[in-house]
Amino acid sequence: MSAAPQDERLARVVLSRIGEPGDPRLTDLVHELGPLTVLGSLQEQAASRELGEDLADRLVAVDPALELERAARLGVRFVVPGDAEWPPGLDELGRAPHLHERGGVPVGVWCRGPLRLDEAVGRAVAVVGSRSATTYGAAVATDVGSVLARHGWTVVSGAAFGIDQAAHRGALAGRGATVAVLACGPDRAYPTAHRALIDHVADVGLVVSEAPPGCAPTRIRFLARNRLIAALSQGTVVVEAAVRSGALNTASWAAGLGRPVMGVPGPVTSAPSAGVHQLVRARDALLVTSGEEVLEAVAPAGTHLLVEPRGPEQPRDRLSPRERQVLDAVPLVRGADLVAVARTAGLSRARTQEALVALHRAGLVETALGRWRLRDGEDQLPLAGPGGADGGAPAVGGAGGCLP
């Protein structure tokens, strides 16, 4: 298995420890010039006292080899560009527009868990949304996560309260893979109430963070984390999100990367769904209502195609337009002769007779003594007027007019 050169890996460890996740001043320079050049320049500035005192102190204090040893004892590994495990999707961040001053290709990512990162996200969908999820939203996220998992897709989310938690649990219930992307170090749990969930994901799936072990979560780290969730997935589903929601930031990153953005609708009066509705209305997000519809959007063309939903087929569905026209002209109770039916239908007697024979064969009408009426139990819309539900020919026919 190929791996990045060790000197580059150690340089990236130092840069990961002294820099902020997603800071484009660092990520863009490393992506353009390489980690050794950037680190060398910082060390020269530190030696000449051109670098800020705080940053210079941190630079001197980092022992990259010791950092990797400590991480290994925690079950954490550092994955960098050039490793076989590095997913190509993260490289696309170098071409995506930066949002909220957080962006760029990560210097590296810290991973905890048995899955290989590139394999885990080879077929992955992000499921994100509100921390204050409704019962409806949590149920939908769980179902979407479970459906994706049962079909071999990895569920990526942020392990937060609400939708994130439900998506992870749905994937685990579906016995599939799930990846939790954190805004703190991969050895920590945030929120702390999700320690058991995050540890379980680390046991069977993968916990990923741009922040080194031991780092605490901060607001800007959540914004940086969102771009990783989008970049590690082939599409992003927003289940519930208010108009100011971090989930919408993730959706913006997905759109910037050219990945499908999907939104699950909620009640139009629901504040937790207002942001989703805005995505669908104004930003061309695809409306989805189930895991199967998500699969249809992200799976290769021609796979997971859904049949358009429709009600059960009725006897009328198999009729030709002319037969429907004649059927609408047949009275409900008291029979009408051929002349009356033809006049109401607006057709010739010959064509009316032909249609009546077909309707009789289909079991929709019956005849006695030359008069025609609907068979008992036939589902016919009641029509107003003297020829309506109380008998006789209906007052209004297909293309014809009213009886005199």
Q: What is the pLDDT of residues 346-373, one digit of tens each?
A: 999 999 999 999 999 999 999 999 899 9
Over 90: is that where the pLDDT of 389 sits?
Answer: no
How far apart (Å, rounded) are the C-alpha atoms in residues 345 and 322?
9
pLDDT level of residue 403 (50, 70, 90 thresholds): very low
Report the side by side order of strands in the sheet with 365-368: 336-337, 371-374, 365-368
pLDDT level of residue 382 (50, 70, 90 thresholds): very low
pLDDT: which is higher, 387 or 36: 36
Q: How many helices (H) and strands (E) does the chain have?
A: 17, 12
CB 158 within 8 A of CB 181: yes
Task: Tell me the average pLDDT of the chain.
Answer: 89
pLDDT: which is higher, 282 or 271: 271
Is the peptide bond between 35 and the residue preceding it cis, with omega within 30 degrees of 0? no
CB 229 within 8 A of CB 164: no
H-type alpha helices, 301-371: 321-329, 338-345, 349-361
Residue 308, Cα to own-chain centre: how many angstroms? 19
pLDDT level of residue 245 (50, 70, 90 thresholds): confident
Q: pLDDT tens-digit profile of 2-48?
A: 788 999 999 999 999 999 999 988 999 999 999 999 999 988 887 76
List domains and CATH numbers for the chain: 74-298 (3.40.50.450), 311-404 (1.10.10.10)
CB 78 within 8 A of CB 13: yes
Beta strands in 106-224 (DSSP E): 109-112, 124-128, 154-157, 178-182, 206-209
